[in-house]
Chains A and B, each alone.
Chain A
Amino acid sequence: DSGVTQTPKHLITATGQRVTLRCSPRSGDLSVYWYQQSLDQGLQFLIQYYNGEERAKGNILERFSAQQFPDLHSELNLSSLELGDSALYFCASNRTGPNYGYTFGSGTRLTVV
């Protein structure tokens, strides 16, 4: 157990639907990062939150949004889902500083049918 909890592990939904992915960071970590990994692709950075505030935004579609709550858990909302949104979505957290890597959650595998 990495300490980063992601739920659900698997999600199957239809096109046009909306889903919410949830992430609880490791205890003591203030930053949460969301990444998307499509089939046989590297990890694409979506968005980062730090202590409740949006810190950085990557290639996140307008149909996607996220937030971090006062208890530091984060949710990634994906709406108007398309087949191409099928991917593994990772949440990661880390301690502050450039010499700290991420601790990843186990990911949510989203399948849009």
Chain B
Amino acid sequence: AQKITQTQPGMFVQEKEAVTLDCTYDTSDQSYGLFWYKQPSSGEMIFLIYQGSYDEQNATEGRYSLNFQKARKSANLVISASQLGDSAMYFCAMRERRDDKIIFGKGTRLHILP
């Protein structure tokens, strides 16, 4: 079974609009971390935001925020006021305390339209 599910293979969004990228996860651990990474066409993996399972507040980093709904096991990434440079592949990922490695979802390709 997949531990990280990203149901949107691709999205098209108009510039300056907000966009939500969906991510659900599956774990039986109480302690875990959730991450979002951005991969532009150049290929590098860029860390965007982190949410800990015990964090009560949603994480925010500039225009990025993570909508964390623990009971639903959901960790959606919200990008406010999207820009052309936001066009990229976005990966949701999880790291469980019992397991040192990070597991990635299959990604969502985001296209920002001018």
Contact = CB atoms under 8 A, between A and B. Distances in A.
A33 B106 contact: no
B44 A99 contact: no
Contacts of A24: none
Contacts of B102: 33, 45, 101-102
B10 to A, nearest CB: 11
Give the 9 A-B CB pairs with smallest separation, nearest first: A104-B45, A42-B106, A43-B104, A98-B97, A101-B35, A98-B33, A99-B33, A42-B104, A99-B52
A86 to B, nearest CB: 14
Given A98-B32, A101-B33, A106 B100 contact: no
28 contacts: A2-B44, A33-B101, A35-B104, A42-B91, A42-B106, A42-B107, A43-B45, A43-B104, A45-B101, A45-B103, A55-B100, A56-B100, A56-B101, A90-B45, A98-B31, A99-B33, A100-B33, A101-B35, A101-B37, A101-B47, A101-B102, A103-B47, A104-B37, A104-B45, A106-B43, A107-B43, A107-B45, A109-B43
Contact of B50 (A2, A33, A99): A99
Nearest to B6: A42
Interface residues of B, number: 25
B95 interface: yes
A31 B50 contact: no
Contacts, number: 61
Interface residues of A, number: 26
A106 B42 CA distance: 9
B44 A56 contact: no
Contacts of B32: 98
Contact of B106 (A31, A35, A41, A98): A41
